[in-house]
Amino acid sequence: LSPPAAVSQVTVRDALNQALDEELERDERVFLLGEEVAQYDGAYKISRGLWKKYGDKRVIDTPISEMGFAGIAVGAAMVWLRPVCEFMTFNFSMQAIDQVINSAAKTCYMSAGSISVPIVFRGPNGASAGVAAQHSQCFAAWYGHCPGLKVVSPWSSEDAKGLLKASIRDDNPVVMLESELLYGVPFEMSEQAQSKEFVIPIGKAKIEKQGTHVTLVAHSRPVGHCLEAAAVLSKEGVECEVINLRTIRPMDIETVEASVAKTNHLVTVEGGWPQFGVGAEICARIMEGPAFNYLDAPVVRVTGADVPMPYAKILEDNSIPQVKDIVFAVKKALNI
């Protein structure tokens, strides 16, 4: 038997930093731009040390003008540079949504494939802590709605590194939705995941835990909540299969279908709003496809509350899916 591969604890922040460093080194067309990404080392320290290493042309501080710097980045991508455009929060990407959708997402189609736009828009998405409604929205459903974009949503450090590297190497515009609350969280990373050539294919979900009674599907931070709920339910004899979507668009519905065919029950979990959400899309796909015949009960959605995010902590906690909400939803689906 070969010895087990070395595993070390790496935070999501360091995994993203590692990915950026490796891709800047690998391809001189890659550059990073955004507010405070250079001299300040990034608002969340994702780009720590990169300006000192690569200089002003590769790591660029921008004015507070999302529409302006996103437009510059899209133009650069059209002439075959590979920009990584950081939004300090995806809520601010609304200032630049015309550039993301009308310029980046649609150009390849509207040019009959002659102009690619290899750009990554990345930054924190969804709820943080105590930052109220204008900084707490999940954009997975918004950007996942638009043809021409690829949309990824990592949970672990391995997800973060592998998906960011795949996104930078992709010839299409990619929106990478990170969670600010996960940046400081350490995850185990294998030796393989820390190698320079480690990438995770866009469009492939990962089964984080095998189970037989119910399928839980989530992306980003709620994946961790699902695993915690699964541990609680396991003590009561309920074995959950937990799927980490990783990619919102294109969605790996085949992995979900195969799991539903095994467990006969499905619960979707997300931090975003319920109406037209990621869970709603999964429900529709399951209903329209072959897995519908395997369902023994209706699909249950666990989502954020249908309100702008409150500022008060107790209200905020009640607006975001908690472990107890997932446990309740599973029992409802299983009728126990």
Kindly report, residue by residue over 280-329, the tens digit of the pLDDT: 999 999 999 999 999 999 999 999 999 999 999 999 999 999 999 999 99
Decide if pLDDT at 4 tops 70: no
Residue among 66, 208, 257, 270 flagged as catalytic:
66
Q: What is the mean pLDDT of residues 172-200?
A: 97
pLDDT at 254 over 60: yes
Give yes or no: 225 in active site: no
Contacts of 334 (CB under 8 A, 6+ apart): 213, 214, 238, 265, 297
Quick one: pLDDT band at residue 44, thresholds 50, 70, 90? very high
pLDDT of residue 3: 54
Distance from C-alpha of 138 to C-alpha of 270, rounded to nearest angstrom: 9
Q: How big is the chain, counted in residues?
A: 336
Res 6: pLDDT: 74
pLDDT score recorded for residue 282: 98
The residue-averaged pLDDT of 122-136 equals: 95
Fold held by 206-334: Rossmann fold (3.40.50)
Residue 5, pLDDT above cutoff 80 = no
Query: SS3 of 329, please?
Result: helix
Q: Any idea which of 22-26, 127-131, 181-185 has the lowest mean pLDDT?
A: 127-131
pLDDT at site 7: 85
Per-residue pLDDT averaged across 187-212, rounded?
Answer: 97
Torsion of CA 39, 43, 49, 53, to 10 degrees: -50
Cβ distance 23 to 169 under 8 Å? yes
Mean predicted confidence (pLDDT) in 35-43:
97
DSSP E strands: which ranges in the chain? 7-11, 30-34, 59-61, 82-86, 120-124, 150-152, 174-178, 186-190, 206-209, 214-218, 240-244, 247-249, 266-269, 300-302
Q: What would the mean pLDDT of 244-258 be, rounded to a whole number?
A: 98
**pLDDT for 2:** 57
Q: Which amino acid is at 50?
A: L
Residues of the chain with CATH 3.40.50.970: 9-194
| The pLDDT of residue 60 | 98
Residues of the chain with CATH 3.40.50.920: 206-334
Considering the segment(s) 9-194 as one domain, its CATH architecture is 3-Layer(aba) Sandwich (3.40)
DSSP three-state, residue 240:
strand
Burial of 336 (0-12, 13-18, 19+ CB in 10 A): exposed
Q: What is the pLDDT of residue 76?
A: 98
- What's the pLDDT band for 1 if we cut at 50, 70, 90? low
Given this model, what pLDDT does residue 106 score?
A: 98
pLDDT given for residue 34 in this prediction = 98
Tell me what pLDDT residue 274 has.
98
Percent over 90 (pLDDT), the chain = 98
Position 257 scores a pLDDT of: 98
Question: What letter represents residue 322's amino acid?
Answer: Q
CA distances from 185 to 141, 224, 283 (A): 25, 11, 31
User: What pLDDT digit, counting tens, does each position of 100-125 carry?
Assistant: 999 999 999 999 999 999 999 999 99
Q: What type of residue is 286?
A: I
Whether residue 135 lies in the annotated active site:
yes
Contact indicator for 108, 172 with CB cutoff of 8 Å: yes
pLDDT, residue 36, reads 97
Q: What is the pLDDT of residues 66-96, one digit of tens each?
A: 999 999 999 999 999 999 999 999 999 999 9
In this predicted structure, the answer to whether residue 223 has a pLDDT above a threshold of 80 is: yes
Read off the pTM. 0.95
Say which of 23, 35, 135, 265 is annotated catalytic. Answer: 135
